[in-house]
Structure 1
């Protein structure tokens, strides 16, 4: 059975797993809707970091499950509803107030690449391949997805991905800035979890303010909200905990208040 699974490999690190290996982790309509619900739960859960991954080594995700298109994109209204469900899931991942790391193996293609771009960091193994084959299907990416990817790698590489519909290597994706870190396949899980645990030990209010500032820069949050969250850090107990620990040479324990 296909699904988006939520589990907790560590007490403060959540993990979302795209589970549809028979179709290279293509994401069904139900799975997009589940992802929205999962993100809603995580926004109020004690998570300090989230890992987003696909089952197995064959693919992170190949995007929307094309086998559903005839059933769920059969008329203009259905197309709008289907696209809205996908956009809602993309936004939900992007707007989580906690750091999200995409763990990328195998194929990261189409909507799967867009979904990975919604994460804050991307860790890939060196066999991973990336592409946007929209031109082979006669569909188009939403402008905000293109802008998100362009913010990471610039407009010229995005144009190449979209206008040629060719696949690129993990090395190219790393040089472009799409991938933050490259590692060997047998190190991918441990490196991703190491980063998640590292971020999970830091001040969650700082993470929230940082993500709001980046969102304001990208135009999907207001500067006023970002300024408010930054000021809230200065007035927090975690600020006192952090500065006291620094003075004492100890490790701070942040509580998110």
Structure 2
């Protein structure tokens, strides 16, 4: 069943096709720059995809065939980030968007082409898996604007890029190319320019075919290990333990014995 939801006056779009979800940053005329309204809409879109549309995986992508996202819409900064008070309100919406991607109950795949700067880079860093076309270029230009990148989002750069590459990105603001980030482990794959969406879809299809409770338990356990959070680890253990009593576990065993593909329901 196909479903869709449009937010932020059409600049954020969510699509569900069965178990697969697609979250689109749709502002290609401005390199998919993200306005304040778009930042606020991202958590709502993620919530709709997993809670209402019940997808098992989300692909995050920029609209058009050129760029993932140039990051925050700088044209709004004169009013929306003009001083400490307004900047804190603005950055809170950034943080909620990053958190929505990072903490989504389902895996999130970022499919990146062209420009992936600033907040766009931050959204990609918050995702679970990242694929990029060979032309992708990444940067965190905050220091060149006289700004500090939101501290809570820096953790995603450190986890994704590693300590040294994260420092290089934040301290220099200089562009980083896809092959560099593949070598650093930030990207799982580089594709040709016309292959990105197809490869992301293949990966999403593979993930969506697996048991939802297993995916959720794995995502929580991975985050718990990365963050060193005991409470999160216990939550992962509880969900993991529940899989042994699930209908999906029975279906998985039966499918294996019958040499067929399992049909999981998330129960």
Whether the TM-score (by the shorter chain) exceeds 0.5 is yes
Distance between the aligned counterparts of 2:152 and 2:237, measured in 1? Answer: 23
Does residue 234 (structure 1) correspond to residue 241 (structure 2)? The answer is no
87, 98, 101: which one pairs with 2:95? Answer: 87
How many angstroms does 1:58 deviate by? Answer: 2.4
Summarize the alignment of residues 66-145 of structure 1 with structure 2, pairs less than 5 Å apart: 66-145=74-153
Count of matched residue positions in the alignment of Structure 1 and Structure 2 = 256
233, 238, 259: which one pairs with 1:249? Answer: 259
Does residue 11 (structure 1) correspond to residue 49 (structure 2)? The answer is no
Distance between the aligned counterparts of 1:75 and 1:183, measured in 2? Answer: 41
18, 22, 32: which one pairs with 2:39? Answer: 32
When normalised by structure 2's length, the TM-score is 0.92
Determine if contact 2:69/2:116 at 8 Å carries over to the other structure: yes
150, 172, 182: which one pairs with 1:174? Answer: 182
Determine if contact 2:14/2:49 at 8 Å carries over to the other structure: no
How many angstroms does 1:2 deviate by? Answer: 5.7
Q: Which residue of 1 aligns with 2:70?
A: 62
1:50-92 per-residue CA deviation (whole Å, 9 max, x = no partner) reads 1100012321011111111111122322111110011001101
When normalised by structure 1's length, the TM-score is 0.96
Q: Which residue of 2 aligns with 1:42?
A: 49
Q: Which residue of 2 aligns with 1:148?
A: 156
Does residue 22 (structure 1) correspond to residue 29 (structure 2)? The answer is yes
Distance between the aligned counterparts of 1:83 and 1:65, measured in 2? Answer: 13
How many angstroms does 1:249 deviate by? Answer: 1.0
Distance between the aligned counterparts of 2:168 and 2:10, measured in 1? Answer: 32
Determine if contact 2:95/2:152 at 8 Å carries over to the other structure: no
Q: Which 5+ residue runs of structure 1 have no aligned equivalent?
A: none
Please identify, of 44-53 and 216-225, the stretch whose mean Cα deviation from structure 2 is larger: 216-225
Q: Which 5+ residue runs of structure 2 have no aligned equivalent?
A: 1-8
Task: Give the direction of change, closer, same or farther, for the CA distance of 1:43–1:102 in structure 2 (3 Å limit).
Answer: same
Distance between the aligned counterparts of 1:89 and 1:152, measured in 2? Answer: 17
Q: What's the secondary structure of 1:87's corresponding residue?
A: helix
How many angstroms does 1:21 deviate by? Answer: 1.4
How many angstroms does 1:243 deviate by? Answer: 1.2
Q: What's the secondary structure of 1:123's corresponding residue?
A: strand
Distance between the aligned counterparts of 2:209 and 2:10, measured in 1? Answer: 33
Distance between the aligned counterparts of 1:58 and 1:201, measured in 2? Answer: 30
Please identify, of 155-164 and 144-153, the stretch whose mean Cα deviation from structure 2 is larger: 144-153
Distance between the aligned counterparts of 1:117 and 1:233, measured in 2? Answer: 29
RMSD over equivalenced CA pairs, Å:
1.4
Q: What's the secondary structure of 1:25's corresponding residue?
A: coil
Q: What's the secondary structure of 1:140's corresponding residue?
A: coil
Distance between the aligned counterparts of 1:179 and 1:161, measured in 2? Answer: 15
Distance between the aligned counterparts of 2:222 and 2:93, measured in 1? Answer: 24
Distance between the aligned counterparts of 1:75 and 1:134, measured in 2? Answer: 16
